[in-house]
A and B are shown apart, each in its own frame.
Chain A
Amino acid sequence: MTQATADTGFRYEDLGRLIALMTGAEKHAPAAHSTLDVLWVLYDRVLRVRPENAEEPGRDRFLLSKGHGPMAYYAVLAAKGFFPVERLRGFGSYDSPLGHHPDRTLIPGVEIGSGSLGHGLPLAVGSALGLRAQGLDDPAVWVLIGDAELDEGSNHEAIAYAGAAGLERLHTVVIDNDSATHGWRGGIASRFEAAGWSAVTVDGRDHEALYAAFTAPHPGRPHAVVARVEKKQ
């Protein structure tokens, strides 16, 4: 399988306009969306998943665990052709499949229904194990969580187990915008490293830095990318 290069004609610069179709306001600039740059770099350059192969066993998996505020996610999926851009206009309405938390049974390309925090990383661990058990050693599993979501104990169960088990095809992106009330002494990456993960912290707005972090080799270990973005207002 090759990189996701299917070109729908949309560029990063178009995402603000797509988000405005959902929010109805141009003030929701791309920079206001903490996940936008991470999602764009992943779908544009890293994940081997396209609308054409979204059902194939050998595809990469991206699990959005941080399901709150999914407008950036929907905008990127629409930009990459998973569903028509026109569908964005119905966001949150009764007849729209696009809810304020995504539902995998309603939207093509969405791997998990999310919203309740602390479910995505355990599901990603299970997905990585399930692929490996079927001899699918190539697909990568990615899960996106938030720094405050890391408060959930279920995530610590998953981090400890995945590190000990050396789940090399598992990847976690932590969007760190200082949302957690009590913070993380010593930094978030240190928590993953202590559990045996490879971990790197980068500027979550710098596309080249994100790409380098996403593609860094991590033999025998799961990999965490902590993407720092401006503090939550």
Chain B
Amino acid sequence: MDNMRERFVSVTSRALDEDPRLALVLAEITMDGFRPDQQRHPERVINVGIREQLLIGVGGGLALTGLRPIVHTFASFLVERPFEQIKLDFGHQGTGGVLVSANASYDWPAGGLTHMAPGDVALLDTLDGWTVHVPGHPDEAEALLRRAYAAGDDKVYVRLSQQSNAAPRPVDGVGLRTVREGGPGAAVVIAVGPLLDNVLAATEGLDVTVLYATTVRPFDDAALRGAAGRGRADVVLVEPYLAGTSTGAAAQALSEVPHRILGLGVGRAELRRYGTMDEHTAAHGLDPRSLRLRIGAFL
């Protein structure tokens, strides 16, 4: 099985052949994967070198001429370094494009904080109108990338990760999907992207409703309200990025009913550890055993 980033290369390669409106902008990262595409489409596969501000600015300029830019590099260099360019070169200009990141929160733990971006979704949350897809499997990544490329002039962020669930689920690019249904009044646990398997393992035997999110913005208010019912709502969010990123969105969705929300995710404090993804998942309390303890204590 390929990983999401490899799938991004194959999906985008086909999409560039099929849709003359698409143009890909790179800053060296993943360039090797797209060399054949650059041969076929030299004017629509653009590598600007290690220049991330220019990366986003060029994407914005392409959009001004009517193309749909796909802009890609690691999340830390795509969202954090040129953040003002994202805000102004797309949002303020009234144009759109597709930002596709790799490396997620800690896909390369031995690489350290410079290559980690647990805050990317929270940062994009300060801007208006961005759709955020967080696939949990390479097949889901393929479906969501295709949707993003075809989404007119929408502003779309697709967050790819080395972490993956064992099997894909159907994704519709809209909102929350019920994966396990609890009894009346049961608490709701929302699992985002690649953390679904851990959440299902952690909540085995508990009376909870598990919702699966691969599109987190816009937040699916109606689905959460429907799952929570009319009474008091207990909600746990399990996100593969900064803990609490979506608590505001969930609270807004539940503003009409009494509710409690527990936001689980990657901790804010810098771990200053190397090692493996599994070790980092455990360190942030996102492995099944830790999740079971934390969710159980909350309920």
Chain A residues engaging chain B, CB cutoff 8 angstroms? 57, 61, 103-105, 111-113, 116, 118-119, 121-134, 136, 153-154, 157-158, 160-161
Contacts and interface: CB of A to CB of B under 8 A. Distances in A.
Interface in B64-87: 64-67, 69, 84-85
Given A116-B88, A119-B89, A130 B51 contact: no
A98 B68 CA distance: 29
User: Which 3 residue pairs spanning A and B have beta carbons closest together?
Assistant: A126-B61, A122-B57, A130-B65
A161 B51 contact: yes
A127 B62 CA distance: 5
A126 B66 contact: no
Nearest to B52: A157
B138 to A, nearest CB: 29
Contact of A130 (B67, B85, B88, B94): B67
A154 B54 contact: yes
A131 B65 contact: yes
Contacts of B49: 160-161
Contact of B61 (A57, A129, A154): A129
A105 B59 CA distance: 18
Contacts of B46: 129
Interface string B28-62: 00000000000000011010110101101111111
A105 B95 CA distance: 10
B64 A127 contact: yes
Interface of B: 23, 25, 43-44, 46, 48-49, 51, 53-54, 56-67, 69, 84-85, 88-89, 92-94
Given A157-B54, A161-B51, A134 B93 contact: no
B66 A123 contact: no
Nearest to B42: A133
23 contacts: A61-B64, A104-B93, A113-B88, A119-B88, A119-B89, A121-B57, A123-B61, A126-B61, A127-B61, A127-B65, A128-B61, A129-B43, A132-B43, A134-B66, A136-B65, A154-B54, A154-B57, A157-B48, A157-B51, A158-B54, A158-B57, A161-B48, A161-B51
